[in-house]
Amino acid sequence: MAETFFSMFTPEEIALISASGTRVTLPEGWSPIWESTSADKAYVILSGTVSVRHDGEEIAQLGPGDIVGEAAIINRTLRTASIVALTPLELIHFTSETLRRLDVEMPKFHEALESVAAARAGGDF
């Protein structure tokens, strides 16, 4: 994926999206999202790198500006991958309710989620 999730927004839109979530830090090695579990949260990475793993195999690495955990919330499915922090992380945490609200209230947010989902479905992480 050539651009990050946040690169699709203006600074003002990023501020609005960021204010909707809660800033959190996680240590290296932490796994905030687990494969085959229910979807109750998503994150935008502010700093650090995560490994995206399916059946224990790394399928991608994501970093600053990328979103993780959104697809299962929007699609109302179980998680299809686990996320493991390769470095300490600074993130914006979104509850499933907040993510769904932004998806409905902000058309550009919805379009960005659709773009990310389409790229990831094609294996273009």
Separation between Cα atoms, residue 107 and residue 113, nearest integer Å: 10
| Residue 6: how many other CB atoms lie within 10 Å | 20
Confidence of residue 122 (pLDDT cuts 50, 70, 90): low
**Whether this model's pTM surpasses 0.95:** no
pLDDT tens readout for residues 15-50 = 999 999 999 999 999 999 999 999 899 999 999 999
CATH code of 6-14+22-121, in short, is: 2.60.120.10
pLDDT tens readout for residues 93-116 = 999 999 989 989 999 999 998 888
Separation between Cα atoms, residue 106 and residue 17, nearest integer Å: 9
Separation between Cα atoms, residue 96 and residue 1, nearest integer Å: 24
CB 53 within 8 A of CB 45: no
